[in-house]
Structure formats: structure tokens, C-alpha cells
A and B are shown apart, each in its own frame.
Chain A
């Protein structure tokens, strides 16, 4: 990094590349820094529920190392993805409902700045308020502030038993699904995930999925209670010990639009998705951790660039119209799309704190050499 700095090279960090095609492509790329050779689990303090790993360790490799002690990094991310990549992109799946995103599990980080200086923050204890938390700042920073080289996580015990409870709601019973998501999410039965799956547009059924983790007897009892809860909302409930189809997986789309919201707006968000899809003539597959306030609308590769752009613009407009001032509590972000779409619509719309984000970028990378073009606040 020092050499790149002295030659003013633009730098693109990469891990396994599982998320590399999400987001805007680099506007310039002199040097790719591939971190996959930094693949050591440096420390697993099982008694402390802490692991310190190099950035190139894959999620699958780490899971295997931790499982021998009955522990896990409680994140749903592709097994092939690297820890550094998952942190840099802020990737989290269904269980973000209970355990949060990478930023919530990180307790320490080592980074290499754009100028080649190595910096640490946090540590290897779960409770620590000394100094600024650079781990939070670098989580989700998409490689635009520097290289993440090492991360320390708090771990969780692997649950002895798991169960998935699903409730199917007919296409005309969107309201029932909304009620089911809300009551599962606010239940004292402690779900680990509350997902909504609505494939292929408004004429299809909706599925609410709840993940229950715990002891075998506890999970059996709670799964029964959750299925009653989903049935009470009008769903056809079922319990299984394997995940339902598409659990935590997005289809292979050409465009992914993330909608984040306050749960009380879920009904309005689904209405806006259906209406915007009809207007643009697209059929998005909508799924995600609805209980945690997020859904992903995926458009298949056959969708024209123009239709994707119209869908995004229409969605923003309809949400603004439906929610008024509360529209600021809904985020519509284009996570992945072909470049022509990203030229036609703003990827993130208006981001709160954008001016401060630019100031942070300017401090850490004054030459804007780190993954130029990627930063959602613009370069």
C-alpha cells in the first residue's frame, strides 16, 4: 500500500469475489490487492467466545474451525466469501434479526490505510469502549477507506436444535402476512430470523418463515407456539427441521434493490413494490429479513435496463407518496445493477450524513484511490 501510495495507484481490494460485482464498478483500477492468501485463523479463544482471523479466511473455513468447539460466527454469508469481504460489504442474512450485521459481531480490527499505515482499533475483549470504533467505520465501507487485514469477532454457541416454521398466505392475503411478520418479530419467543418470501410478483403466495434456535425440547415447544401464531394471522403453518426453499438465498439476478423500513410500514412497502412492479412491467422476486426491516427485490437478467430504472424510480415515488414525511424512514438502494441502470438512477437516493461521509473519505483517502467509483455517497 505504501508503494501504491507513492505511485498514486488506484487500488481495488478483493476477497473471494462473491460480492465484487455488486455495486458500481471501479472507475479506475491500477492494482488489485487479493487478500485470499491471508487465510489464517490466528486465534480461537473458545472459553472467551472470541476468534481473531485474517481477512482472507473464508466463512466456510471459519465455520469449520469454530464448530469443533461447538461455536459459530452468527452470520449468514456465502461459505466461499472471505471474512474481509463480508465485513467490507456488511453482508448479513436471515439471522441479522437476532445477531445483527458484521458490525455488531466485530470487537476488533486491523486495517492498512491508503497511505500504507497499519492501524488497530478495538481489541479482543467483548466489552471495550476505549477510543473510536474504527471497526464500525470500516464495516460496509466497500474497500473505499483502506484494506481490512484482520478482524476479531465475538462468537456464539451453536444451538443444539433448530426448526423452521413457515406460514403460507394466499396472494390476496398480503395483510395476513404483514400481521404474521409483525407478531413473530415482537414475540417474546425469541425468533432468530423472521423472513418474508414473495417470489415472482403480486399474483403469487407469500411465505413467512421463522427460525427457532435452542434446546431440542425448547425448540419443539416454541416452534409449536410460532405455528399457532402464524395460523392465527391466517397462514397455513408448518414446522420443519430443514430450511424452506430459497431460505437466505437470493436468485441470480441482474439487479438487486434493497428496501429497508420501519416494520409498521411493511404493508405500505409491499403495496408500493406491487404497484411499481406493475407500472414498470417487471416481476421482482421479493424476499429477505422483513422482521428486521429489510427486503430485497430481485429482477431477473431478462429485465430491460430501462424497466429496472423505471421500477426503482417508481418505487421511490410511490413510497414517498404513501408515507409522506415518514418516507425518510424507508431506504431504497440499488445494491447491484448493470452500469446503464446505475447511470440512470441514483444508487442510494438521499443518504443522511452524506457530507460527513465525504469528509471521512477525504481524511482516510485524500486521493480517492481506494476503489474509486464504489462509494455510495459518490466520489
Chain B
């Protein structure tokens, strides 16, 4: 296989220019994993195409040579969906980052796959429009990656997932042909391959253009925080809100342990002593939302809220969200390592499953912090452990798996938004029988009969680069940073798709070619404003700030 790769190198240089073909072993390491760092595999070759035609030519060359290929966007995925193939080509889409068109009358944008999620909304904002899917990595994650994973976000309860907002895709098929799926009208002719492709985790082809639906910005947005003594009281409020016929934009809950962590990390100043915090966001026309807010407030009160806060301007709302958004990263404050789980249960089973998780946690002697999208039953239990202890590590892995079993026992799913990738392929047979999996593979066979396109993902297969659950390393990378040591910066990663202190490998660093990843730091400027920036990490530790700043 290596000779084949070597033979491919000149061809790839012809296609996308010598500067966009990476063969240096140290540089290749930059791409050895995505947001799930437990799985690592150095690709044989990395290419960074600049156009759809180049992607098509790259894939055609791979197909002809029988070489596997994997597409990668920003590398923020949490199930190893962009894990490279050791004998394959990794096709990195980050150079294709143009917003090609915004048609405000049609409420459509046409973007290249490397465009970041949030930048679509930013470009649409002057027209009073936004792009609804909002995974919490939205500052960095790419729209192409969102399509591959069918990404959700806190607001998908009301506004739906990526699949509801993608109306057309230009793709390169696994044989290297460019074709469109859907025409952007939102009306399907023939089979709905657009919907089938979305969420196929990069196994059916590579996206090169995306037509997305834009939505009018809501007239008003209200965010309400209610504190409870227990999660079951908060859960009762959620049930009553749904029973009242209200569909909030988001309903989020945190338990005592995750509140404690968030408090330590960002001093979010949630009500002291709360056993659970519920965040409800309502958006829409002013004429409806004001009445809904009154109803939700009354329901929260009746369910036993010890305190209720409400906010309707962006700054105040951000204060309420601060604790929730920091929760995943924040548990690093209270545990050396942790596993982020992503299971789903019917919303009405939340209470039973949370009780089950508590008893599993107690039995195993492993702490679990619970943060979840309460509106749609999507749990993100954070399993806390010390990875210096092999026994604790094993116990944490077992507990994490047992949580998924509990989700399935209640008719749920093994993943709500992080995907199957390599991380959960072995759980697929617990959710689907052999005939189900065989039928899904018929689609794979139609698109990719040679099985070269992101092989080894979703479906159980023995050919993996290693199969361990998704561990997060909390402290390892934070210790030596001079800015942290000097008290000038604190490690802060925004939301659950980024990981406290872990490497954040979404692309190479131009100033430090041997960089292996990025890390997000937060500090306060002289005016007190929060500044976040990414700093470069290289083999020896942290590098100079590479200037990839963002707020």
C-alpha cells in the first residue's frame, strides 16, 4: 500500500499544488485525531484541496488506486468520524471556506464545506436572517462536518437538526464524480438522497457545496433560569411545559455536580445550594412569547422552583447560559479526566434513567455529572475518573457503557448528536439487529461499493485503529502554560463539543508547521472584556500565540 501512496503523491501535487500536499511525518501527526482524542491514527497522506474539481480529482485518483480516503472539516467531531486511515488519504476541507451566495428573498445561502457554522449566521444577520443549527462548537466547526454528522445543538428542540436546514448538496461520489443531491428548493424529486446523505458520517461521499435554509431572526428571545432542590422537580416543570403545548427553543438542565463545576470554572453565580438548574429559552413573535413566558414562569414556580431569573437582552441571556455552556469543560476542575457520553431517552423516561445513572454511579464508586437537553431527552452524562488509576479507568468505561444500555432499555438511542463514528460502532448491534444493519449497508453499497470512503465507521468492523471509549484528558495540557501559571489566562472551552485542556486539532499552524493542535484560552482584556483565543501547541508544549484570535 505504501508504494501506492508514494505513487499518488505526484498526482496529488499536480491536482492541488505541492504546498497543499502533506507528506512530512511530523506534520501528518497534526491530523491523527479529531475532537475524540482517544482514537489516533496518522494518515498516510494529507491533501488540502481548494475546489470541488480538485476534490473530485483526488477522490477519482484514490478510487483508481484502491486507496481509502477520509474527509475532515474542522476536526471537532466527538465520535472519531474524521479519524484518518493509516494507509489512506485524509482530505482536509478547510481551504474551501467561501460563502458563495446569500439570497435573502429565498432565505438561502450557498457555502463551501469549510465555512464555519457561526459565520453563516454572521453573514446572514444583516438581512435579518440566521442559520438555525447551533452545535456548541459553532465558532469553529464546519458546515460540511455538520452535514456529515447531522449536527444538532441546544436549539434543535424547536428548530430541528442540520438535515432540516440543508436543501441541496454538491457532492463528490466515492467514485470521484461531482453530482448534486437536491436543488435547493426544499422539494424532493425522486429518492431523498439529500436526507439520506446528511448524517451519513462521511461514508457516502464528500460534500463540496451546501445550500442551507436561513430563518428570520426571532422578534424576541427570553431566557429563564429556575433553580430546584432536585432534578426530579426540574423534570416535573419540563413535563408540565410540554403538556401546556409550549415548544421552547431550548430546555436544558444541570445537576448539582455540574453546577458545582461550572461555578468553580466561570463563577456563573447560579442560585446557591441548587440541586438542579433548568434553563428554558423561548423565541418567536413578541405577541406569543410574552404569554408563553408567563405560563412557563408559573409552571416553574408551581413545580417548586426556589428561585427564578429571566433575561431578554443578549448580555443578560449570556450570563444565564454561561454556566451551561462551560459545563463540559468545567468538570475538568473537579476531575482529572472524564468521558462525555451522548445517549437519548424518551423525555418522559428522564427521571427513571437519571435514577438508574445515580445508582450505577454509586455501585461503581464513579462520579457522574449530568448535563442534558431535557426537552428532547438527550443526556450528556460526564463520567469522572482519575486516569492515573487503571482500575478507575476501567470502572469509568464500564459505567459509560452501562449508561447506554440504560438508554436502550428505555427505548432510546446510543447517540443523539455526536455520531457513531469509530467510538460507538460496537454498540450498533445493541440498537439494531443484523437485518437492520444489513439494510443500511445496501445504501453504502449503492454509493461506495469499493468501501473506500471513510471505511470502518458506523458499522461494526474489526479493522479499527484501536477501540477504547472516548476519554478526555483534562489536566495534562494545561499545567505548563506560562499564561496560566502567571494567572493571566484560564483554560476555557466553550461548550461541550470542545474539551477542557485537551488538544484541539483542527488544522495545521502556518507559523509553527509542526504544531499538533490548538488549545483555547480565555483571558480578560484591559477593558474587562472576555477574550478567547486559540494558541498553538507543538511537540514541546505550548507555542506562541498564533494569532488565530476570536471572541
B189 within 8 A of A: yes
For B164, the closest partner residue in chain A by CB is A104
The interface residues of chain A lying within 8 Å CB-to-CB of B191 are 137, 140-141, 145, 353, 357, 360-361, 377
The interface residues of chain B lying within 8 Å CB-to-CB of A182 are 105
The interface residues of chain A lying within 8 Å CB-to-CB of B288 are 190, 214-215, 218, 222
Query: Is B106 touching A264 in the complex (CB atoms < 8 A)?
Result: yes
- B185 partner, pick from A160, A225, A262, beta carbons under 8 A: A262
Subset of 17 A-B contacts with CB under 8 Å: A47-B347, A121-B440, A123-B412, A125-B344, A125-B413, A129-B419, A132-B196, A140-B191, A140-B192, A190-B216, A258-B187, A263-B106, A293-B106, A329-B185, A351-B190, A352-B180, A364-B442
Stretch at the interface among B35-43, B355-363, B443-451, B464-472: B443-451
Which 4 residue pairs across A and B have the least CB separation, nearest first?
A136-B195, A157-B245, A352-B180, A119-B439
Docked complex Cα distance between A47 and B420 (Å): 28
Give per-residue flags for B288-313: 1 if the beta carbon is below 8 A from chain A beta carbons, else 0. 10011000000000000000000000
The interface residues of chain A lying within 8 Å CB-to-CB of B413 are 123, 125, 127-130
- B150 partner, pick from A111, A129, A137, beta carbons under 8 A: A129
- Given A100-B164, A129-B152, A351-B189, output 9 extra A-B contacts at Cβ < 8 Å: A45-B346, A47-B243, A101-B188, A103-B195, A125-B345, A264-B105, A294-B186, A356-B446, A360-B193
B435 within 8 A of A: yes
B295 to chain A, nearest CB (A): 9
Size band of the interface chain B makes with A: 35 or more
Query: Is A188 touching B447 in the complex (CB atoms < 8 A)?
Result: no
Query: Is A103 touching B192 in the complex (CB atoms < 8 A)?
Result: yes
Query: Is B190 touching A354 in the complex (CB atoms < 8 A)?
Result: yes
Docked complex Cα distance between A158 and B198 (Å): 30
The interface residues of chain A lying within 8 Å CB-to-CB of B411 are 123-125
**Which residues A89-107 have CB closer than 8 A to chain B?**
90, 100-101, 103-104
B58 within 8 A of A: no
Query: Is A187 touching B443 in the complex (CB atoms < 8 A)?
Result: no
A76 to chain B, nearest CB (A): 15
- Given A129-B419, A157-B247: A185 and B348 interface contact (C-beta under 8 Å): no
For B348, the closest partner residue in chain A by CB is A47
The interface residues of chain A lying within 8 Å CB-to-CB of B164 are 100, 104
- Given A127-B417, A262-B184, A351-B190: A362 and B446 interface contact (C-beta under 8 Å): yes
B168 to chain A, nearest CB (A): 8
The interface residues of chain A lying within 8 Å CB-to-CB of B129 are 186
The interface residues of chain A lying within 8 Å CB-to-CB of B437 are 131
- Given A131-B440, A136-B163, A137-B195: A48 and B189 interface contact (C-beta under 8 Å): no
B371 to chain A, nearest CB (A): 15
B95 within 8 A of A: no
B219 within 8 A of A: yes
The interface residues of chain A lying within 8 Å CB-to-CB of B419 are 129
The interface residues of chain B lying within 8 Å CB-to-CB of A129 are 149-150, 152, 161, 199, 413, 415-420
The interface residues of chain B lying within 8 Å CB-to-CB of A50 are 346
A49 within 8 A of B: yes
Docked complex Cα distance between A145 and B440 (Å): 13
**Which residues B110-169 have CB closer than 8 A to chain A?**
128-129, 149-150, 152, 156-157, 160-161, 163-164
User: Which residues does B use to contact A, with CB under 8 Å?
Assistant: 103-108, 128-129, 149-150, 152, 156-157, 160-161, 163-164, 173, 177, 179-193, 195-196, 198-200, 216-219, 239, 242-243, 245-247, 284-285, 287-288, 291-292, 344-348, 373, 376-378, 411-420, 424, 428, 431-433, 435-440, 442-447, 458
A330 within 8 A of B: yes
B84 to chain A, nearest CB (A): 21
- B378 partner, pick from A127, A258, A348, A354, beta carbons under 8 A: A127
For A186, the closest partner residue in chain B by CB is B216
B403 to chain A, nearest CB (A): 15
B275 to chain A, nearest CB (A): 23
Docked complex Cα distance between A221 and B181 (Å): 40
For A156, the closest partner residue in chain B by CB is B247
Query: Is B189 touching A104 in the complex (CB atoms < 8 A)?
Result: no
Docked complex Cα distance between A120 and B128 (Å): 41
**Which residues A208-262 have CB closer than 8 A to chain B?**
214-215, 217-218, 221-222, 225, 258, 260-262
A313 to chain B, nearest CB (A): 18
Looking at A45, A103, A136, A185, which has the most chain B CB atoms within 10 Å of its CB? A136
A359 within 8 A of B: yes
Query: Is A130 touching B291 in the complex (CB atoms < 8 A)?
Result: no
